[in-house]
Structure 1
């Protein structure tokens, strides 16, 4: 394949692809398959660093709009879901996200559902979609590790059955002491099974929720710089002096913080009158202190969020507004939040557009990053390992056949 007139790093180049890799830039490449990028931006694909495939497309009304009502709704529903239903909804979501340019998805699965039906379903989805996307599954104890007897063993069982990462939710434990205990348990489990840690951390408006500091302590103590902290919305409510003290420690610990701007903006501040808190960890401030920051989509049409199309640029669009990233430099660098910063946290090797790297590319419909964020167009072409797998957000290659991308399960 030859991609001509591709805009890469502000230069117009041709990209030659052979055997699934970028063989050279700006060289002769005899081939019958030529794509004209029309001087449009060509970039590496997106990551979705935080999602919930088990609850996707369950648009059950959350009347208060709070995180806590969403959790209660989910608690009443999750045990009634069949494996077939979870697979159907999750497959629809994965295809939708791939068509929007995402080729890496880190999904949580609730493992406080005692039959582990949800985990079994997502393990099958991971296998079914391995030709179009890389999925990591985090064993997530939604109800807490110590809120009910046996949840700790369910978490262990989920890891033994094939989950990729150890999850936790310390702010949902009954006491601060149990929250700290749950973090230590997660690190012990991760070390025992050589797994990454992927937690929901301080997802609350409560300024007294400060489990990120405990996560940093154990990351340093265990020398385990394989940790992501999702949400951390309480950071928005922490005072500046505390953030000034703790963020350098978070950076030293190598923790990646993953805000979820669409859902954070929808759920947080629900107990405020006006003005309402934005409820998102301050991205520019974290970056200033050296913290790696990546973004997640979190939800699509579920008890916590009524919208969503699986577009990571849409997530980035919201982040830019909430954190007032308005300078030209801010906007141009913001794309790293869904590309290179995520690749660093995922530890993807040879990510980017360079000779010898895997040919994972998005040919956009836009002239530059600014237009990508203005228009939020899906990619004209999504290319994985040198093969076109999606076009214009409308078609996707799945199991060797082209099919129309569904907006929701039928």
Structure 2
């Protein structure tokens, strides 16, 4: 007898009418017509069942702080950094914990059960690290939260930036971050990349670096990051986030850069919502949108995953915790509207992000952890188009959130009285 069986499910790989059996918190079988009893059964009825969504790049210490202490009037990256610099010295641990927990509630409702958050270490008080380490433990039963020691004001540029980052790592923050393009000079940026990769190698930790989040085509710290990754033997353990300068780089230089990144097995994390909102601010027309070269990086075999980055904070006044919204925007700005393109975008929100985070037991194979999301859509393409209701969110084989399907009732003679937008509007041959 199984603990749970989800029946008649469509899977992201195209299989349809599959049953998923769960026992002891693990997937015990994925087959058609499983003839066995179960403590609970859920009818998916030809809807998509996916592993949970993953956000590999977020700032949970700043989330839901929109308007504190004031609004970002210009909407620029630099004013957002300055605004956060005003809030950070007066923020309390209690406030940080409360906001982060509220965001985690939202994340669960969206089927987002794995998050990597950057933790600003520029304030020597390190209340941000204290707060998010507490949150990490409190949400552990339902969200896997990874934390990055992130020197927002610069590893060398910030007062006590070096000491504060090392203290955060000593406290238990488990990933080394950086922001080389925000150091005072290009050379100090290069030196910070070298120093931070050395720390990661010495401590046996991964690296996740804000890298070249700028329109400047001469900001080339990703080149240094790839080289230092190889030098310190960190291949596959390093992520370069944003990489927006690649949008503006010379094509010949990029033809050298991408193979170097592939050699280092860099994980690439664009953030479509934020990148196109904040980049190109000094342009008139034509106006650059600033997202990195997603298609070219994928074609070169690099692991590309997408981050939400911000939700209602000094940098971004929008956001919903919905990774499908992120993928929806990526389709548009990367101009990846083909069927296979969309499948790759969906994978960037799920399996690619799992690789970035180094997750074990993630997926829909027998023996994987029974972490699942049932969506009111038939397949990944429909999910990306509709950003549908998460009908059920399952962690370790137990339903931890559920939402009623979105059904519209209409009163028009001769037309259907109820419309399930996730199933009734799929084009059929």
TM-score range with shorter-chain normalisation? over 0.9
**Post-superposition shift, 1:32?**
3.3
* Residue 263 (structure 1) aligned with residue 268 (structure 2): no
Cross-structure match for 1:129:
139
Q: Relative to 1, partners in 2 of residues 1:176 and 1:393: Cα closer, same or farther, differing over 3 Å?
A: farther
Residue 8 of structure 2 contacts residue 45 of structure 2 at CA under 8 Å; is this kept in 1? yes
| Cα distance per residue 1:194-238 (max 9 Å; x no partner) | 111111000001111000000000001111021011111111011
**Post-superposition shift, 1:87?**
0.6
| Cα distance per residue 1:355-374 (max 9 Å; x no partner) | 12111111111011121011
Separation in 1, partners of 2:241, 2:384: 23
Separation in 2, partners of 1:32, 1:340: 29
| Cα distance per residue 1:266-289 (max 9 Å; x no partner) | 111111112211110111011111
* Residue 145 (structure 1) aligned with residue 130 (structure 2): no
Residue 149 of structure 2 contacts residue 168 of structure 2 at CA under 8 Å; is this kept in 1? yes
Separation in 1, partners of 2:372, 2:158: 45
**Post-superposition shift, 1:393?**
8.8
Q: Relative to 1, partners in 2 of residues 1:119 and 1:393: Cα closer, same or farther, differing over 3 Å?
A: farther
* Residue 3 (structure 1) aligned with residue 6 (structure 2): yes
Residue 101 of structure 1 contacts residue 378 of structure 1 at CA under 8 Å; is this kept in 2? no
Cross-structure match for 1:398:
none
Q: Relative to 1, partners in 2 of residues 1:149 and 1:88: Cα closer, same or farther, differing over 3 Å?
A: closer
Separation in 2, partners of 1:31, 1:341: 32
Candidates 17, 26, 35, aligned match of 2:22: 17
- SS of 2:46 mapped into structure 1: coil
Cross-structure match for 2:312:
301
Matches within 5 A, 1:94-133: 94-133=104-143
C-alpha RMSD over aligned residues? 1.2
Q: Relative to 1, partners in 2 of residues 1:15 and 1:187: Cα closer, same or farther, differing over 3 Å?
A: same
| Cα distance per residue 1:72-93 (max 9 Å; x no partner) | 1111110100111001111111
**Post-superposition shift, 1:390?**
1.3
Cross-structure match for 1:187:
197
Q: Which moved more, 1:49-58 or 1:95-104?
A: 95-104
Q: Which moved more, 1:47-56 or 1:327-336?
A: 327-336
Matches within 5 A, 1:40-119: 40-60=47-67, 61-119=71-129
* Residue 165 (structure 1) aligned with residue 170 (structure 2): no
**Post-superposition shift, 1:333?**
2.3
Q: Relative to 1, partners in 2 of residues 1:164 and 1:80: Cα closer, same or farther, differing over 3 Å?
A: same
* Residue 237 (structure 1) aligned with residue 244 (structure 2): no
Larger-gyration structure (1/2): 2
- SS of 1:152 mapped into structure 2: helix
TM-score (norm 1): 0.94
Cross-structure match for 2:397:
386
Unaligned runs of 5+ in 1: 395-410
Residue 248 of structure 1 contacts residue 291 of structure 1 at CA under 8 Å; is this kept in 2? no
Separation in 1, partners of 2:234, 2:373: 33
- SS of 1:37 mapped into structure 2: strand
**Post-superposition shift, 1:180?**
0.8
TM-score (norm 2): 0.90
Separation in 1, partners of 2:345, 2:151: 31
Separation in 1, partners of 2:220, 2:302: 17
Separation in 1, partners of 2:100, 2:154: 24
* Residue 362 (structure 1) aligned with residue 369 (structure 2): no
Separation in 1, partners of 2:159, 2:30: 58
Residue 116 of structure 2 contacts residue 357 of structure 2 at CA under 8 Å; is this kept in 1? no
Greater relative contact order structure (CA < 8 Å, 6+ sep) = 1
How many residues of Structure 1 are paired with residues of Structure 2 in the alignment? 394
Separation in 2, partners of 1:54, 1:186: 22
Unaligned runs of 5+ in 2: 406-429
Residue 247 of structure 2 contacts residue 293 of structure 2 at CA under 8 Å; is this kept in 1? yes
Misfit runs of 4+, over 4 Å: none
**Post-superposition shift, 1:184?**
1.1
Candidates 314, 334, 338, aligned match of 1:323: 334
Separation in 2, partners of 1:332, 1:195: 31
